[in-house]
Amino acid sequence: MNSTRQVLSSAVILILLSSATYAQTNNETLGIGKKESLVDTPMLTKTSGGGFMMPEWVQIERCALYEDHVIITHQFGSGANKLVKEEIRNFTITSGFLDQMILNSLTESIIETENYMCDGPGTYTEAHYQLSTGKVESIPLFSTGGCGSPQNEREGVNSRHLRQLIDEYCPTTHRAF
C-alpha cells in the first residue's frame, strides 16, 4: 500500500511540476523568448491542484495570461481517462503597463508562512518577464509550499494587483493552514 501511495503521490507531483514548467519547456523548444515572439510568452501563470488523491479524482486549474488574452485549462482526472477543458478569453488593458508592474514587483518582499502539511493542495503563481538578452525569467508571486517548505507570498501593491488579475480567471488559491 505504501508503494502504491508513493507512486500515486509522485504522479500527482509530476503533474503539478510539469504544468508549472510547461511554459518554460515550450519556450525553449519553440524558441519563444526572442523579441519577435514575446507575445507567445505568458506574462502570468497560475496552477492549482488538489494534492495527493487517486488519479481519477485529480483536478487541476491552470491559467496562462498574455498581453491580450488568457488561456484557462481545467483538468479532471489523470492518465488515460482524464478530461481537459480549455477556454481562451480575450481582454483589453486600457491603461497602464502590465510588464512594468511585473518589473516593479521584483523589489517587493516575500513573506514566508510555515506549512507542515504534506500531500495537500497547492497553488503556484508566477510572473514572467524578458531580459534584454531574450531570456525569459520568472518571479514567484505565490507558492503554497508544504512538507516543511514554507508558503511564500510576495507582498506589495504590484504583486497583489498581479495576483488579483490572474485570480479573476483562475480563482482557486490553496493557502497554508
Flag whether 75 is in a domain. Answer: no
Of 2 and 99, the one with more pLDDT: 99
Residue 59 lies inside a defined structural domain of this protein: no
Q: Within 13 Å, how many C-alpha atoms sit on residue 121's CB side?
A: 16
Q: Are 129 and 139 in contact (CB under 8 A)?
A: yes
Residue 158 counted as domain residue: yes
Averaged pLDDT for residues 18-25:
36
Containing structural domain, residue 100: 2-54+93-167
Q: Which among 71, 62, 74 is positioned nearest to 91, based on CA atoms?
A: 71
Residue 173 has pLDDT above 80, yes or no: yes
pTM, whole model, 2 decimals?
0.74
Q: What is the pLDDT of residue 3?
A: 40
How many domains are contained in the chain? 1
pLDDT beyond 70 at 16: no
